[in-house]
Amino acid sequence: MFTGLVAAMGEIKAMERRSESALLTIKTELVSDMKVGDSISVNGVCLTAIETSDSNFTADVMLQTLRLTTLGGLSTGDLVNLELAARPTDRLGGHIVQGHIDGIGEVIENTPGEKWNKFRIRIPAELEKYIVNQGSIAIEGVSLTVGEIVAGELTLWLIPETLARTNLAHKSAGSKVNIEVDIIAKYVAKLAGNK
């Protein structure tokens, strides 16, 4: 489990594609707190470290994950949002984030304002029922508060802290982003009979 509070950005050092998976190597300062077998959120996708070194960690990524998330489009040099799994003693500063991506959205707008960026995303139609104004959502693994959801378009306001600590500042119109809706909303919808 994660909180959606990004701990650091990492840089893609290598993406080695194989017949049934890919090896993703990421340079990050977080590696000093990692060991083999640890879960780490990479742009909101829960991966497992299979190897660590002084400055990098490597994760094995299944083809299904590459196909269903934005990880398949990563290239050497790209910046990614990283978060280590939450400990039971940590504060839950964001919201419950599982690292299981529900869909891919497309950035419509990322416009700087006086104090924050207006960030608009087109979302898959099947996810709209799980999103409410002022509710929680994870975009690229970042816990955010929904500003408004109207006709498949999600508006969020990115504060300077979020822009400085995540890769969302680098997203422009046409960029693809991983979306994880609130797990509580999914359970409520299932219990209510809205699968």
CATH 3.40.50.300 applies to domain 8-84:
no
What is residue 92's predicted lDDT score, i.e. its pLDDT?
72
Distance CA 116, CA 145 (A): 13
Per cent of the chain over pLDDT 70 is 99
What is residue 29's predicted lDDT score, i.e. its pLDDT?
96
What is residue 115's predicted lDDT score, i.e. its pLDDT?
85
Same fold, 8-84 and 103-191: yes
Distance CA 81, CA 189 (A): 29
Most confident residue range from 114-118, 175-179, 191-195 = 175-179
Q: What is the mean pLDDT of residues 118-137?
A: 95
Q: How many CB atoms lie within 10 A of CB 31?
A: 20
Span of 64-73, 84-93, 167-176 with lowest mean pLDDT: 84-93
- In the chain, what are the domain boundaries? 8-84, 103-191
Q: What is the mean pLDDT of residues 41-64?
A: 95
Q: Exposed, middle or buried: residue 139 (CB in 10 Å: 0-12, 13-18, 19+)?
A: buried
Q: What is the pLDDT of residues 18-46, one digit of tens each?
A: 888 899 999 999 999 999 999 999 999 99
CATH class of the domain at 103-191: mainly beta
Q: What is the pLDDT of residues 143-178, one digit of tens each?
A: 999 999 999 999 999 999 999 999 999 999 999 999
pLDDT confidence tier of residue 94, bands split at 50, 70 and 90: confident
pLDDT confidence tier of residue 195, bands split at 50, 70 and 90: low
What is residue 93's predicted lDDT score, i.e. its pLDDT?
75
- 18 versus 180: the higher-pLDDT residue is 180
Distance CA 38, CA 73 (A): 24
Distance CA 95, CA 143 (A): 6
Q: What is the mean pLDDT of residues 100-115?
A: 94
Average pLDDT of the chain to the nearest whole number: 93
- pTM given for the model: 0.89
For the chain, report the end-to-end CA distance as a whole number of angstroms. 23
Q: What is the mean pLDDT of residues 109-125?
A: 94
